[in-house]
């Protein structure tokens, strides 16, 4: 449980700051897997939520077309991770708002992700739709994933604010 008096802040950070939480929560501590394609592109955003001076939630959004598409208005969410004790407090929603706003400012019209089965409900609650049947990744054969997408609205993102 989080202390309700704790202060939280949201910051754009460099990739090196999001990798430790990615590695711990999403990648079973596989160091070599925590560097994602697109991490170092100039338009990529890495965002972190801090509690005091400690990062408790991270996300990345980068310009990347859906598989099989050449659409340069699609943006991929990657490495969305929230420490277990901080889940359910709206930090994921806050990360999504920052990522969506960034994508829209750079001409984005669609956000997509490869979501774990356990995170599917989170994305559906934000308005994402599954665009694939469940599948397994070679690197994580123990988990089911879904490709999910969200059409970015042109105005303020009221459903995630």
Q: Is residue 32 part of a domain?
A: yes
Please state the length of the chain. Answer: 161
Written as tens digits, the pLDDT of the chain (161 aa) is 555 556 899 999 999 999 999 889 887 656 566 677 888 999 999 999 999 899 999 999 999 998 888 888 999 999 999 999 999 999 999 999 999 999 999 999 999 999 999 999 999 999 999 988 888 877 776 789 899 999 998 754 444 54
Structural domain total, the chain: 1
Alpha-carbon distances, residue 107 vs 19, 62, 88, 110 (angstroms): 26, 12, 30, 9
| Domain hosting residue 125, numbered range | 8-160
CATH for 84: 3.40.630.30
Residue 116 burial class via C-beta count within 10 angstroms: exposed 0-12, middle 13-18, buried 19 and up? middle
CA of 79: how far to CAs of 7, 31, 61, 94, in Å?
Answer: 23, 13, 9, 15
Is 23 within the bounds of a domain?
yes
Is 1 part of a structural domain of the chain? no
Nearest to 111 by CA among 53, 144, 159, 143: 159
Specify the pTM. Answer: 0.86
């Amino acid at each position: 449980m989080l202390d309700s008096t704790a202060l939280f802040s949201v910051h754009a950070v460099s990739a090196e700051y999001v990798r430790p939480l990615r590695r711990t929560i999403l990648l079973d501590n596989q160091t070599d897997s925590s560097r994602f394609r697109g991490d170092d592109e100039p338009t990529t955003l890495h965002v972190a939520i801090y509690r005091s001076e400690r990062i408790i939630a991270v996300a990345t959004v980068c310009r990347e077309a859906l598989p099989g598409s050449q659409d340069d208005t699609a943006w991929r969410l990657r490495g969305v991770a929230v420490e277990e004790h901080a889940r359910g407090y709206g930090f994921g929603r806050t990360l999504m708002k920052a990522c969506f706003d960034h994508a829209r400012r750079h001409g984005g019209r669609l956000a997509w992700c490869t979501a774990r089965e356990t995170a599917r409900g989170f994305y559906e609650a934000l308005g994402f739709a599954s665009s694939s049947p469940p599948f397994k990744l070679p690197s994580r054969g123990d988990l089911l994933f879904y490709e999910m997408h969200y059409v970015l609205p042109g105005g303020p993102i009221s459903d995630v604010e």
